[in-house]
């Protein structure tokens, strides 16, 4: 057994915190520092850290916890009220990137990405790649600037969940048309069944927590976070394994379920140290560590630049128009659009699927990786700019605040026990 993973974790925690403090001095979100830390220490620059199975699994756990805590901190009533606007934002925010991505590929396909199969399907597959939003970085940034539980923040969350489902449906349709053995109606049925399942679980667990809370003394509250974490992991596993829905949606649903219980605030406070001290830095650093920039020709470089621009502009226009149609003012529409710009690991999974099926060339990996990294770096900075001037902008991280609160609660609890 090797113990190199201990050194990897130490380097990640040290570099993410150090760069996080540096970028904070320049009025940028600390998550940008974590992304840069992985990029600098990874194969793209100094080649000190490399992607390993352990770091990959730990990063996956990190994004699950991020989405779980986001669910716990979400006002369910506000999220429900944002459901209609979230649907409109997601629908327009999928259609515009789909068309713009297909249009971009049309101009480059013959000369650069020539491949066997249907030209139309190849073009629209790149459009599908651009539809997927990675909400985890946006969630962390909104937490940091105190806007996660705002009207705009809830609309972004609702739109991102629907966006993920619509992207999955679009991918299913494209793969189905290309001849893959995919039953589109079954995919839609499983998605609907998952949300019905989540509603049933929410009702059952809410009754269980009320019953259990009445039987447990205040000094035994530490059991509740353990139960909540088990629910989070089970919901993430069930969503991915049995319903074909992303595990992060299962984790977010679990967070919403816990948010509806009587001990939600206490549970959320206990998760802050786990996320802030370990899992969150590792997840964001892992994005940078994955970056391996391949050799690229002049035409590929031009395509990459245009792909990044289309990735940003298409979500800004599509989701911004959707927000405007939902009654938001111009500033709020831009905030929603920027919040949906970020792409992540879902894009890489989709591209890998396309290569496996022969829809696109492996040469597309380079531009897509660069697009993912740049949107991940740009989104937090742009969010900070568009929220600049709003009340509560860039106050101390919610995670740190919760961490300090839970320490105070533990100290009070200890003093009470000593007095007894």
pLDDT band, very low/low/confident/very high, at 177 (cuts 50, 70, 90) = low
Q: Which of 16-20, 23-27, 307-311, 397-401 is predicted with the least confidence, judged by mean pLDDT? A: 397-401
Q: Provide mean pLDDT across the span 91-111.
A: 86
C-alpha 130/C-alpha 314 separation (Å) is 8
Residue 337 in contact with residue 323, Cβ under 8 Å? yes
Mean pLDDT of the chain: 81
- Residue matched to tokens 């009025």: 27
| Beta-carbon count within 10 A of 348 CB | 18
Specify the pLDDT at position 240: 85
C-alpha 221/C-alpha 265 separation (Å) is 12
In three-state secondary structure terms, 55 is: helix
User: Is the pLDDT higher at 411 or at 220?
Assistant: 220
Specify the pLDDT at position 161: 78
Across 132-136, 206-210, 329-333, 369-373, the highest mean pLDDT is recorded for 329-333
Specify the pLDDT at position 173: 73
In three-state secondary structure terms, 331 is: helix
Specify the pLDDT at position 308: 94
The two tokens of residue 256 are: 């919403």
Q: Which domains does the chain have, with CATH numbers?
A: 4-419 (1.20.1530.20)
User: CA torsion 156→36→289→382, rounded to 10°?
Assistant: 20
| Burial label, 212 (beta-carbon count in 10 A; 0-12, 13-18, 19+) | middle
User: Is the pLDDT higher at 215 or at 9?
Assistant: 9
User: Is the pLDDT higher at 410 or at 289?
Assistant: 289
pLDDT band, very low/low/confident/very high, at 291 (cuts 50, 70, 90) = confident
Q: Which of 31-45, 50-64, 350-364, 370-384 is predicted with the least confidence, judged by mean pLDDT? A: 350-364
Specify the pLDDT at position 335: 93
Specify the pLDDT at position 234: 96
DSSP string, 239-298: HHHHH---HHHHHHHHHHHHHTSTTHHHHHHHHHHHIIIIIHHHHHHHHHHT--PPP--H
- Residue matched to tokens 């802030």: 276
Specify the pLDDT at position 219: 63
C-alpha 167/C-alpha 95 separation (Å) is 10
Q: How far is CA 280 from the centre of its chain?
A: 12
114 pLDDT more than 70: no
The proportion of the chain whose per-residue pLDDT surpasses 70, expressed as a percent, equals: 83
The model carries a pTM of: 0.72
pLDDT in tens, 36-57: 898 899 988 899 999 899 998 9
**Angle, vertex CA 345, rays to CA 103 and CA 101, nearest 5:** 5
Q: Which of 102-111, 187-196, 314-323, 380-389 is predicted with the least confidence, judged by mean pLDDT? A: 102-111
pLDDT band, very low/low/confident/very high, at 415 (cuts 50, 70, 90) = low
pLDDT in tens, 301-334: 899 999 999 999 999 999 999 999 999 999 999 9
pLDDT band, very low/low/confident/very high, at 99 (cuts 50, 70, 90) = very high
C-alpha 92/C-alpha 418 separation (Å) is 59
C-alpha 59/C-alpha 397 separation (Å) is 20
Residue 64 in contact with residue 233, Cβ under 8 Å? yes
Rounded to a whole number of angstroms, the distance between the first and last alpha carbons of the chain is 47
- Give, in order, the Cα–Cα distances in Å from 311 to each of 143, 246, 304, 317: 24, 21, 10, 10
User: Is the pLDDT higher at 313 or at 351?
Assistant: 313
Residue 380 in contact with residue 287, Cβ under 8 Å? no
Q: Which of 201-210, 269-278, 350-359 is predicted with the least confidence, judged by mean pLDDT? A: 350-359
- Residue matched to tokens 């009587």: 262
DSSP string, 112-159: HS--SS-HHHHHHHHHHHHH---HHHHHHHHHHTT-TTSHHHHHHHHH
Across 23-27, 80-84, 247-251, the highest mean pLDDT is recorded for 247-251
Specify the pLDDT at position 201: 92
C-alpha 155/C-alpha 80 separation (Å) is 9
pLDDT band, very low/low/confident/very high, at 398 (cuts 50, 70, 90) = very low
C-alpha 379/C-alpha 29 separation (Å) is 10
| Nearest of 352, 339, 309, 369 to residue 136 by alpha carbon | 339
Q: Find all residues with CB under 8 Å of 288, minimum gap 6, and list them.
A: 35, 36, 37, 38, 39, 40, 41, 42, 44, 373
Specify the pLDDT at position 11: 95
Specify the pLDDT at position 14: 95
User: Is the pLDDT higher at 20 or at 403?
Assistant: 20
393 pLDDT more than 50: no
Residue 345 in contact with residue 59, Cβ under 8 Å? no
345 pLDDT more than 70: no
| Burial label, 357 (beta-carbon count in 10 A; 0-12, 13-18, 19+) | middle
Q: Find all residues with CB under 8 Å of 293, minimum gap 6, and list them.
A: 44, 366, 369, 370
158 pLDDT more than 90: no
Specify the pLDDT at position 137: 79
User: CA torsion 17→18→21→26, rounded to 10°?
Assistant: -130
């Amino acid at each position: 057994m090797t113990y190199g993973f201990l050194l990897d974790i130490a380097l990640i925690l040290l570099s993410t915190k150090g760069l996080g403090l540096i970028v904070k001095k320049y009025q940028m979100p600390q998550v940008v520092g974590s992304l840069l830390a992985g990029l600098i220490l990874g194969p793209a620059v100094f080649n000190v850290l490399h992607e390993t199975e352990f770091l990959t699994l730990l990063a996956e756990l990190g994004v699950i916890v991020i989405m779980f805590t986001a669910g716990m901190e979400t006002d369910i009533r506000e999220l429900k009220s944002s459901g209609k606007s979230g649907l409109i934002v997601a629908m327009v925010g999928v259609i515009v990137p789909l068309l713009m991505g297909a249009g971009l590929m049309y101009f480059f396909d013959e000369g650069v990405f020539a491949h066997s199969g249907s030209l139309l399907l190849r073009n629209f597959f790149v459009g599908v790649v651009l539809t997927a939003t990675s909400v985890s970085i946006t969630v962390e940034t909104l937490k940091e600037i105190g806007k996660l539980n705002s009207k705009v923040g809830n609309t972004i969350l609702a739109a991102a969940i629907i966006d993920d489902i619509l992207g999955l449906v679009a991918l299913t349709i494209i793969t189905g048309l290309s001849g893959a053995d995919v039953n589109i109606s079954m995919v839609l049925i499983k998605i609907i069944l998952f949300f019905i399942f989540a509603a049933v679980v929410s009702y059952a667990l809410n009754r269980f927590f009320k019953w259990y809370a009445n039987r447990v003394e205040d000094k035994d509250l530490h059991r509740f976070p353990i139960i909540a974490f088990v629910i989070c992991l089970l919901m993430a596993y069930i969503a991915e394994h049995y319903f074909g829905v992303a595990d992060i949606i299962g984790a977010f649903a679990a967070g919403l379920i816990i948010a509806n219980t009587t001990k939600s605030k206490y549970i959320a406070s206990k998760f802050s140290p786990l996320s802030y001290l370990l899992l969150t830095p590792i997840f964001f650093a892992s994005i940078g560590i994955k970056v391996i920039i391949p050799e690229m020709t002049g035409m590929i470089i031009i395509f990459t630049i245009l792909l990044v621009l289309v990735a940003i502009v298409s979500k800004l226009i599509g989701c911004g128009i959707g927000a405007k149609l939902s009654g938001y003012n111009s500033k709020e529409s831009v905030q929603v659009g920027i919040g949906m710009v970020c792409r992540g690991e879902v894009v890489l999974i989709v591209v890998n699927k396309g290569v496996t099926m022969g829809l696109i060339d492996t040469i597309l990996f380079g531009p897509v990786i660069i697009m993912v990294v740049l949107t991940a770096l740009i989104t937090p900075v742009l969010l900070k700019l568009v929220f600049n001037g709003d009340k509560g902008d860039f106050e101390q991280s919610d995670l740190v605040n919760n961490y300090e609160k839970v320490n105070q609660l533990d100290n009070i609890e200890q003093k009470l026990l000593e007095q007894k």
